[in-house]
């Protein structure tokens, strides 16, 4: 595994408007530092405790993205430093993030996670719940310490590219439907979709952030 080379190969294929999150969950700090030394400054983790331990030990110019499911009782640990939370799937969670962001005098950028896969196991909002949260947030003047900047979705785990494409395009259509929203706490400019196996397709379908783990750091 040559992390430096993997990273550079992937970066050379990404259009300039697409941001790369290096998904480093389960990997040791030495691996992350290899990516850091190759210029990578955005890392994604799916467990708050693991991310916080890495944040404490690593250079402070790194942006940490929480890409996993968030438990409300752990929000406080990442509130001081997290730069983007990808997996918001309830208003309650959003309110909890707002509370801890306020305690830290910060505004935390958030993505609403939309359920686009066929599998039952994935987290996320359906179209109706998504609309309801956006409606609520726009009309609420207490949510001043979060900002919804876009959506995140995970496609079905399948080899069927047509299926995956359909799901990505569905998420893009929801994004387009809501992208005119323009309040202090809601301005959509980010679409997080695509992982090691499907990021090229995701970019074709309008992704602006890809979350890539195994193609950079090897299998977990
Ligand atoms: C692990 C993970 C990824 C990265 O997956 P790879 O297939 O290793 O690139 C992306 N997004 C989420 C939400 C993940 O949990």
Q: Give which of 85, 125, 86, 90 is closest to 106, Cα–Cα.
A: 85
Phi, psi for residue 14 in degrees, rounded to 5: -85, 130
Q: Give which of 28, 52, 15, 45 is closest to 218, Cα–Cα.
A: 28
pLDDT given at position 121: 63
pLDDT given at position 89: 96
Which amino acid residue places its CA nearest to atom 12 of ligand 1? 67
Taking CA 194 as the corner, what is the angle to CA 121 and CA 31, rounded to the nearest 5 degrees?
95
Spans of the chain, pLDDT less than 50:
none
pLDDT given at position 176: 98
| C-alpha 141 – ligand 1 centre gap (Å) | 34
pTM value is 0.96
Cα pseudo-dihedral 66, 68, 74, 78, rounded to 10: -10
Q: Is the dihedral of CA 201, 109, 17, 206 positive or negative?
A: positive
Q: Which residues line ligand 1 (CB under 6 A)?
A: 23, 25, 46, 67-68, 154, 195-197, 211-215
Extract the runs of DSSP E, i.e. beta strands, from the chain. Answer: 19-23, 42-45, 63-66, 84-88, 108-114, 146-153, 182-183, 186-192, 209-212
| C-alpha 136 – ligand 1 centre gap (Å) | 30
What's the rounded Cα separation, in Å, for the pair 118 and 97? 29
Ligand 1 atom nearest residue 217's Cα: 8
**Residue whose structure tokens are 């530092």:** 33
CB environment 161-193: b (16+ within 10 A), e (fewer): eeebbebbebbbebbeebeeeeeebbbbebbbb
Ligand 1 atom nearest residue 23's Cα: 4
**Ligand 1, pocket-test mutation among 23, 87, 124, 197, most atoms within 8 A of CB:** 23
pLDDT given at position 122: 61
Q: Are 209 and 192 in contact (CB under 8 A)?
A: yes
What's the rounded Cα separation, in Å, for the pair 69 and 113? 10
| C-alpha 73 – ligand 1 centre gap (Å) | 23
| C-alpha 195 – ligand 1 centre gap (Å) | 6
Ligand 1 atom nearest residue 211's Cα: 10
pLDDT given at position 166: 97
Q: Give which of 32, 73, 74, 30 is closest to 49, Cα–Cα.
A: 74
| C-alpha 213 – ligand 1 centre gap (Å) | 6
| C-alpha 211 – ligand 1 centre gap (Å) | 6
């Amino acid at each position: 595994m040559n992390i430096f080379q993997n990273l550079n190969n992937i970066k050379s294929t990404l259009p300039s408007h697409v941001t790369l999150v290096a998904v480093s969950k389960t990997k040791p700090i030495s691996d992350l530092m290899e990516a850091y030394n190759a210029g990578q400054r955005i890392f994604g983790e799916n467990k708050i405790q693991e991310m916080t331990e890495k944040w404490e030990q690593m250079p402070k110019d790194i942006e940490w993205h929480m890409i996993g499911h968030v438990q409300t009782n752990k929000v406080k640990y990442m509130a001081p430093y997290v730069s983007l939370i990808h997996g918001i799937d309830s208003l309650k969670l959003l309110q909890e993030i707002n509370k801890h962001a306020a305690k830290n005098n910060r505004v935390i950028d958030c993505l609403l996670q939309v359920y686009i896969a066929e599998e039952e196991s994935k987290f996320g909002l359906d179209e109706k719940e998504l609309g309801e949260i956006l409606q609520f947030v726009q009309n609420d003047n207490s949510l001043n310490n979060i900002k919804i900047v876009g959506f995140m979705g995970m496609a079905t785990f399948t080899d069927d590219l047509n299926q995956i494409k359909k799901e990505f395009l569905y998420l893009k259509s929801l994004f387009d439907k809501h992208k005119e929203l323009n309040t202090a706490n809601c301005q959509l400019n980010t679409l997080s979709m695509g992982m090691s196996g499907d990021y090229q397709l995701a970019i074709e379908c309008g992704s602006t952030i890809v979350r890539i783990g195994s193609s950079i750091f090897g299998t977990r």
